Chain A
Amino acid sequence: MIKVENVSKEFRLSKEQRKEHPTNDKYTLAVNNLSFSCNPGEVFSLLGPNGAGKTTTLRMLSTILQPSSGKIEICGVDAVKYPREARRKIGFLTGSTGLYARLSANEVIDYFASLYNVPNNVLKERKAYLYDLLNMNEFASKKIGKMSTGMKQKVSICRTMIHDPEVLILDEPTSGLDVITAEGIIQLIRDYKSQNKTVLFSSHIMGEVDLLSDRLAIIHNGTLKHQGTMAEFRADMEGQSLTGAFINIVQS
């Protein structure tokens, strides 16, 4: 499970950044006092327009960034105090994460499995399961640099899941993918949920959010604007489309 309590993140602005966004402030608040939780067996969507603070939040959850204040708990582990322990339980994928172009899919997967100390017999099973699920067998030996966007995204997802994490954090996992590949990933998220694992994902595709989410949170300018179940969100839509309701909340 993921527990976020009063988390804030401040960034120091460089001189250039202060010039770019005319301000005299030395710091900018990217995330402001954010709290939410995501339970096992649940898919939680984090929504927000560009620059809302989603990526910063996800980076804090994955322990790449440290919060300026607040508490993050991953499966009972204090992720701020014990980031390495928390990382063992997380599978993290963001749109900005890349893969090693000069390695093959197999080499990338083996490398990351070794970094998580996945035993060889478990690795074999996990690879067989994920390769089948993601239709990766055909291009497993192909160099990443020669792969299509869809193939790369599959490898990224496989890399994220190879150590069978208890918590899956996905930032726009279907972005730029064809419908068939996207459908495979949606199926994978469902499978994960059915295994009583925690899935947190962000997306711009409202159809996906509607299809997968049990609960959702909407953030704007680093602040939480809405949190609740998908059923509650639908009930409050008052005849609007999902996108319309989302825009209403952001602009309110």
Chain B
Amino acid sequence: MIFKIFRKELKETIRDRKTLLIMVAIPLLIFPILINVVVNVSSSFSESAGEKVLKIGIIGDTNDILIQQLNSIPASFGPKDFIAYNGDSLKLFKDQKEETIDLALWYDSGFQDILDGLGTANILWSVDETNIGYSERIKGYMNILEAEERLKRYDALGIDEQKLQPYKITYQNTASDQQMLGELAGGILPYIFIAFGFLGCMYPAIDLFSGEKERGTIETLLTTPVKRWKILIGKMLVVVLSGLMASCCALIGLFVSIEFLDLIPDPNLTAVVSKILTIPIIIKLFALLLPLTVFFAGIMIPISVYTKSFKEAQSIITPLNIVVVLPAMLGLFPGIELNYITACVPILNIVLTTKSLIAGNIDYILLSLSFIVMIAVAAVAVFVSFRQFGKESNIVN
């Protein structure tokens, strides 16, 4: 009997365009679109930033040694154009303020003499740091000039450069690429699944309970000799399946973006992500998502049963999204790790367990604890749903 109800509810659900959009279309397309946009925007931005000719206002003259040295830096480090102000500091200030120049360069008037006397010459770059890329470009220029000048001084003073380097320090990263990705980005994957799982559950949960009540179909169903708990389970299975379907579609979208659409430009990153998206990890991930989705269904159904209309249910369940996403976001912070305490916090435990799974350093006792905790909260949620569905004041408007 449960299967009969499940089959009918599923048929009705997949005929609803809005639910289908939330359950399949959006999760499936979000990653290809998102990655495509991010990659294209960032690459076109960095291309245009690299090609931009910087207009640099200088306090001195273009014949000054510093400017000549800067001019000798190849254009491949970024093209530049100098505008001489010949000591007119007020005009230099004004032009930078009015943005007729991109940068202002100030330096000592006796710049060459200071260098010749092995002194320290002052150089001041005025940069508007909101212009992304300017700072990096001028730091690059200055590193080249400083290195050249330092070498000249070593020669002048007859110093062996090697003797001024007492240590050769190497910092070796013992974490594998997979561990690094697990730690840095591992939380994002379950976060996305949680968000889509929640969204996927939401519309069917509202439609199959509040919606039925509003349309008067629940009354018809309750006059049949089917036990109420069977009706509830049949409907709940559709809600859970919809949540899992949304998560699954998000995963397929992500997989297709990485494997087939070649949207991630870094081949090393692609290789690591492909290594993570293996069948065993995906199976474990879905095993964790299953009780989570049942839990979602279990908290949405009592609300949906209690409310009198689709709109009312939606107005309560939508803000609940924030409550659910909050512990998921906690898992994104570095330093929060899976332990005996965090394994007992629903949702957060899923994020942290997934992080560890991806990083390949999972503790199976903690994984089991997380799983048991999620099963327990899901069971409580189902029980609450059953109690609410059994109340006649909730099922008849």
Contact = CB atoms under 8 A, between A and B. Distances in A.
Interface of A: 11-12, 59, 62-66, 84-85, 87-88, 90, 92, 94, 96-103, 107, 111-112, 114-116, 159
A37 to B, nearest CB: 21
Given A98-B215, A103-B11, A87 B396 contact: no
A66 B227 CA distance: 15
Interface stretch (B48-56, B217-225, B271-279): B217-225
27 contacts: A12-B393, A62-B223, A63-B223, A64-B219, A64-B222, A64-B395, A84-B225, A84-B227, A85-B225, A88-B225, A96-B219, A97-B216, A98-B216, A98-B219, A98-B220, A100-B12, A101-B215, A102-B11, A102-B12, A103-B8, A103-B15, A107-B8, A107-B11, A115-B1, A115-B5, A115-B221, A116-B225
Interface string B51-92: 000000000000000000000000000000000000000000
Interface of B: 1, 4-5, 8, 11-12, 15-16, 215-217, 219-227, 392-393, 395-397
Contacts of B397: 96
A114 B225 CA distance: 11
Contacts of A92: 220, 223
Contacts of A62: 223
A112 B216 contact: no
B225 A99 contact: no
B308 to A, nearest CB: 11
Contact of B223 (A11, A12, A64): A64
Contact of B216 (A12, A88, A96): A96
Q: When A and B form their complex, which 4 residue pairs have the shortest distance between CB atoms, in order from nearest?
A: A98-B216, A102-B15, A98-B215, A115-B224
Contacts of A116: 224-225
Contacts of B226: 115
Nearest to B226: A115
Nearest to A143: B15
Contacts of A100: 8, 12, 217
Given A99-B220, A115-B1, 13 more contacts: A59-B219, A59-B396, A62-B223, A65-B392, A84-B227, A90-B223, A92-B223, A94-B219, A100-B8, A103-B12, A112-B224, A114-B4, A116-B225
Give the residue among B16, B215, B395 with the most A Cβ atoms within 10 A: B215
Given A64-B396, A65-B396, A111-B4, A97 B220 contact: yes
